[in-house]
Amino acid sequence: MKPWAIGGLLVAAVLAGAATYLARRPPAQTPAAAGPVVEAAPAQLVATLPVFELADREGTLRSLRDWPDRSLIVNFWATWCAPCRREIPLLMKIQRDHGGEGFQVIGIAADFRDKVLAYADEMKLDYPLLIGEQEALDAAGAFGVEAIGFPFTVFSDRQGRIVAAHFGELHAEQAEIILGAVRRVNAGQQTPQQARAEIERALRALPPPDDDA
């Protein structure tokens, strides 16, 4: 069975075959691949972007508040995680295509700094990157997530309210559905709660992504 996720927004499907990452386990003890993703219960996720600081590529401490009036796409990842590596080109495309309308991708790498910097240079990663080991896992915990499977991506509106949380590899069709909902929240056409319900229905209607395409 191919790994796929319905896309999930606070109600996320299991991504079979993805790497499992426990939010309190340091990277050195984490296996490169494991079984089903461990998911946080929807009620555990916070309503707004939490406050924490992590070092960027230059070693400067940054907070999510350093990107005010932007709709953030906060992506937790690690270099050993195959689905994380696969979705990086999509995240870069989202930044290029939608940055001008107020979307901002922020990568948070829960991994060893030297490995992250080398991989980011190899990929020519062009969006802001925050790096930590236990600190990055603590940042995931600040979202209310005790145990997650990487990758894990949070979408916020311009006010910092969490509109969607996607567990597993993000695909283009899923991203467009979520970004469209964030636009409607920003325009005052929907509340975050209404947007989540609509996203869930739309994601469930999508066929499983073809990972060999």
The answer to whether the beta carbons of residues 147 and 40 sit under 8 Å apart is yes
In this prediction, residue 211 carries a pLDDT of 56
Span 174-184, pLDDT tens digits: 999 999 999 99
Looking at the chain, the whole-number percentage of residues with pLDDT higher than 70 is 77
In order of 46, 174, 185, 193, the CA distances from 50 in angstroms are 8, 24, 19, 18
Question: What is the model's pTM?
Answer: 0.81
pLDDT in the model for residue 151? 95
13 neighbors 28 (Cβ within 8 angstroms): no
Per residue in 148-163, pLDDT (tens digit) is 789 999 999 999 999 9
Q: Which domains are assigned to the chain?
A: 20-205 (3.40.30.10)
pLDDT digits (tens, 9 = 90+) for 39-63: 333 557 899 999 999 999 999 999 9
pLDDT-derived band at 118 (thresholds 50, 70, 90) equals very high
C-alpha distances in Å from residue 12, one per residue of 23, 82, 167, 196: 17, 19, 6, 12
